């Protein structure tokens, strides 16, 4: 078992950290929210007063933060890399801009540190169940070192390529997810407006050509799936503003590569409209409210 520092204990980071404790790793944790640290401390982790304190002596450092600016501030502006043992492995699990991932990885490499970007897919449910998908960018040797730890948090691990490649693949996946959720919400709202039961319609779609992850595992209509955020007031889960951030990353990547993403841009506009209506902190499946006038 490894000595692990885990930084960032939000909706995704906290359950990931819990699974590492369950697997027998020695965990030291830090988050800017004291209650989040306390929750992991109660589960057996050692609480640190700062990120620098958390990484001191760690064999593996894992971070799960909201956006590129937070990752760059942690590793570069606050120079956390200088506090990490040169023999340690850094696993950066946030979803950020590929250029940011490459920038931090280059700084780590300059200090002799092995680092991979390993954004995740699977939502809070997958984080809690330990069934996440890790999409990795970095050197194969670093990934091999990370495998025993990643396997305690997820079931599927893909090597997308060199530094930043994990972020590119994650951005593509989340752009498609945003499009699918918006489309699923639109279809369900149309059916209900014409007298259909949302559960029946969802069951039909799930066994027909419109089937997708939203209809099968994360239905946006309240009451259709007991454990989906839609049935819990859209609390927890993956926030609207986080989806909006990822769609923005997709737009930036499209601009830099001169790619066309008309559906991605449309989804971004829909989530932006939804967020400005006061729903930014709700789960992204609440986009259905745009179609039902329940915002």
DSSP letter for each residue of 154-207: EEEEEEEESTTHHHHHHHHHHHHHHHHHHHHHHHHHHHHHTT--HHHHHHHHHT
Alpha-carbon distances of 88 from 58, 61, 65, 114, 142, rounded to whole Å: 7, 7, 20, 7, 10
First-residue to last-residue Cα distance in the chain: 47
Plot region of 24 (φ>0 → left; ψ -120 to 50 → alpha; else → beta) = left
Q: What is the torsional sign of CA 220, 281, 235, 178?
A: positive
DSSP state of 283: B
d(CA 113, CA 84): 8
Pick the catalytic residue from 22, 69, 170, 232: 170
Nearest to 61 by CA among 87, 23, 43: 87
d(CA 143, CA 99): 20
Residues 6 or more apart from 288 whose CB is under 8 A from it? 185, 188, 189, 220, 221, 230
Residue with tokens 């999409």: 135
In 10 A of CB 200, how many CB atoms?
11
DSSP letter for each residue of 5-36: EEE--STTHHHHHHHHHHTT-EEEEE-SSHHH
Q: Has 170 been annotated as catalytic?
A: yes
Active site residues: 170
């Amino acid at each position: 078992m490894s000595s692990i520092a885990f930084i960032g204990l939000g909706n995704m980071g906290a359950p990931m950290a819990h699974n590492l404790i369950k697997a027998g790793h020695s965990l030291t944790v830090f988050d800017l929210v004291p209650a989040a640290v306390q929750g992991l401390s109660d589960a057996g982790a050692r609480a640190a007063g700062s990120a620098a304190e958390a990484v001191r002596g760690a064999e593996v450092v894992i971070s799960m933060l909201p956006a590129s600016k937070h990752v760059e501030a942690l590793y570069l502006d606050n120079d956390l890399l200088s506090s990490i043992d040169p023999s340690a492995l850094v696993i950066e699990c946030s979803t950020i801009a590929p250029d940011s991932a490459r920038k931090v990885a280059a700084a780590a490499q300059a200090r002799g540190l092995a680092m991979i970007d390993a954004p995740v897919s699977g939502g809070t449910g997958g984080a809690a169940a330990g069934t996440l998908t890790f999409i990795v960018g970095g050197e194969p040797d670093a990934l091999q070192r990370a495998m025993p730890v990643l396997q305690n948090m997820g079931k599927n691990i893909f090597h997308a390529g060199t530094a930043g490649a994990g972020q590119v693949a994650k951005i593509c996946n989340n752009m498609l997810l945003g499009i699918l959720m918006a489309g699923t919400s639109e279809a369900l709202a149309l059916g209900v407006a014409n007298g259909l039961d949302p559960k029946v319609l969802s069951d039909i779609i799930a066994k027909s050509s419109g089937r997708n992850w939203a209809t099968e595992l994360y239905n946006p209509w309240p009451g259709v799936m007991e454990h989906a955020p839609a049935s819990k007031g859209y609390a927890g889960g993956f926030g609207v503003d986080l989806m909006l951030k990822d769609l923005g990353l997709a737009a930036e990547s499209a601009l830099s590569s001169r790619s066309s993403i008309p559906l991605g841009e449309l989804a971004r506009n829909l989530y932006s409209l939804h967020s400005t209506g006061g729903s930014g902190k709700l789960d992204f499946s609440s986009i259905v409210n745009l179609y039902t006038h329940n915002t």
